Structure 1
Amino acid sequence: MLRRFLLSTIAVSALAGTCSTAQEISEVEAQSRFDYSPLTETEPDEIAQAQQIASEDKAPGVVAAEAAGPDQAALAKAAQNPIASMISIPFQWNATPGTQWAPNSVDPDAKHDRVMNVVNVQPVFPFKLSDDWTLVTRTIVPFINAPFAKPKFDLTPAGEPYFDGWREKYTFGVGDVNPTGFFVPTLEGDFTFGFGPTLSFPSNKIPLSTGKWTAGPALVGVYTKGPWVVGGLVNNMWSFAGDDDRKDVNKMLIQPFINYNLPEGWYLSVSPIITADWENEDNGWTVPVGAGVGRVFTLGKQPINVSLHAYYNAIKPEIGGEELMGDWTIRTQVQFLIPTAKK
C-alpha cells in the first residue's frame, strides 16, 4: 500500500508539472506530498526514552540528597533511576550510520550511506506533592538531522517539466516534543515505581514530525540491591488530533535496563529500546542488542554522568518492504545532575 502511495504521488506531481514551474512542483512534492515520517519515527521518539536520572540508593524514588556526597560509587549507583527526585539536564546524541533515506521502489539509487542523528535535550524536574507522593516530569526535545531528498525536475525540448530523480540532502530541526509525568509514591526498601501520562505534540513539518498529537499511559519500575539497578519502562501512545493527511500513530515502547556498578563511579549498562509501530503494515518492530559503559564523577562541585553505548539493530522496521535503518546505533550521553536537598 505504501509503495503504491509513493509511486502514485510521484506520478501525480509529474502531471501537475505541465501547469507550474519545476521549482514549485519540487516544493510541493517535498513538503506536502511525500510522507517521510517513517524514517524519523523509528528514531527520535524511541531513542529519546533512553534516559537515566540520579536518585538516592536506599529510597530510589524519593530523595537524592546523599548522591551529592564524595562517594563516586554511591553517586554512580544513584544515577540510574528514571523516576528519582533529582533535577537533571542530559544531552544525548544518537547516531545511526548506514541509513537509507527511502525505499528503492521510490529512489532506485538510494543506498545505506546516510547517517541519522538525533540529539535529545531532556530536562527532568521533580515536584513534591505531599509526604506520600512526588511528581517527576521529563520533557524530551529532539533535535534531528535526518536524511532527506527533494525531487528534481527538468524541461523537455518542448518546455514541459518532467521528474528527473531525487536531490539527496539532510534536513535539520526540532522533532515532536514529548513531556511525561510520573507519579511516584514514597516507599521504603529496594523497589519503587511510577506511573502517569505521556504526551507528544508536533512542532515541525515533514520529515521531522509525525504531524499528530499523541497521548497514552507510561509505567516504570526500579529495583536496587547491592551493585545492581534493574528495572524497565513501558508506554503506548495513540494519536487523537493533528494533520488529517498524516497516518495515525499507535506505537509502543519497552525499555528494560540492567546496571552493574563498579568502583570509582564506573558502571556497565544494558538498556535497549524496543519499539513497535502497530500502524506499520510491513514490520514495525525495532529490537536492538548491545550494552555500554559509563562513569559518574564530579567536575569541581558538579556531578556529571557520562556514558557510551552501542546497539546492533537485530530487528529493524520495514518501509515499503525494505529495511532502511542502519545496523548500528551509537548513543553518547553527558548528563548534569543536581541532587535535591532533603527536607
Structure 2
Amino acid sequence: MRKIIHLDMDAFYASVEQRDNPDLRGRPVAVGSARERGVVAAASYEARQYGVRSAMASATALRKCPELVFVPPRFHVYKEVSRQIRAIFAEYTPLIEPVSLDEAYLDVTHNLKELASATQIAREIRAKILEETQLTASAGISYNKFLAKLASDYRKPNGQFVVRPEQGLGFVAGLAVGQFHGVGPVTAAKMNQLGIFTGADLREQSAEFLQQQFGKAGHYYFAIARAEDHRPVVADRQRKSVGSETTFAQDLTHFPDLLEGLRPAIEEVWEYCQRTGILGRTITLKVKFADFQQITRSRSSPGPIPSQAVLERCCRELVEGLFPLPKGVRLLGVSLSNLSNGQPAPGPATVGKQLTLSF
C-alpha cells in the first residue's frame, strides 16, 4: 500500500504578492492585467469570495469585484519560491512529481526520514514551508494519486485531509463527478445528462457503457469510481516543450508590431533555456487571429537552436511568412520542442545550417 501526498500551495501567485507587499494583505488581489483582454492568472482568497477565479477575463473579474487590485505577474519570483519548496520536499523523498510551480505529488512510502506516518510528514512539510517562505500549503494524503488530489482540496486553505484505504470507496461515492480530477465541465455536464451526478452513480455504470460514451477516458472513469488509480509518482518527468504566449489588448496588423509583441515570449523561452541548459531543435509560432482562428507554423533544425539571436531570426522569418495578413492578430506565442540537454558550442557550422520548414 503506497503512501502518497499531494501538496498544493494556497493561492500561490497572489499569496506571494501579498507576502511581498503588505499593502495588499487582506485585499482582493488578482495577478494579471486589468487591460481589455486581460486574464486573471491567480486570485487571492479575498477575491475568490466575490467569485473571481483564475482564467477569468479581467473585465468579468472587475464587474464581480470593483475593488479588485491587479498586480503584474513576477514569474521569476514564483519560480524561485517553487525551488525553495521543492528543496523541502527533497528532504523527505526523492520521488517528487511536480505538476506545476505550486503543486506536486510525493511518494513517501519509503521516505528519507523513516517516518511511518504520511500524515506527520505532510504536517512537517507544511510547517517548514510556512517557516521558510511565509506561505501556506494544503495537503491531501491517501494510497493513490487520485484520492490524494481530491483530499488536498478538502481542507483548503492551510489544511490537510487523509483518505484511508477503508474510506476510499465511501469518499468517492459522495462526491459530485464535477469534483473529480480529470472530469472537466463539459464531461461533467454530459455525465449529468446521462443521470450520473455522483461517484456512486458513476460506479453503477459498466466499463463498456463508459467507453462507449467517453472513449478511452471511460476506462479511467470506471477505475476512479472505484477509488482505483495505479499511476506511480514519476520523478523528473521529461519535459516535451517549453513555450510562452501573449494576448494583445488590440489586434495587431503591422509587421513591426507583431515582432515587438512576440519579443517577451522569445525572451521568456530563452531564459528557460539558459537557466536549465535545455535546448530545442523545433521552433513553433502560434497565431490566434481576431476571430479566434488559430494556426501554427514550425521550423526545425538539424541541431539545437544555439542562441537567442538565432531564435529571434527564425521567429522573424516565421512571422514574415504570415503576410499578407488575412486579419488582425490577437495572440502570438513561441515554443521550442525536440528538447535535449547540454549547451552546444555555437560556431559558424552550427549557426549557418539551413533550417527546414514544416507545417
Fold conserved (TM > 0.5)? Answer: no
Task: Report which of the two has the higher share of strand.
Answer: 1
Q: Could you say which TM-score interval applies, normalised by the shorter chain?
A: under 0.3
Task: Report which of the two has the higher share of helix.
Answer: 2
How does the TM-score come out when normalised to structure 2?
Answer: 0.21
How does the TM-score come out when normalised to structure 1?
Answer: 0.22
Structure showing greater relative contact order (alpha-carbon pairs closer than 8 Å, 6 or more residues apart) = 1
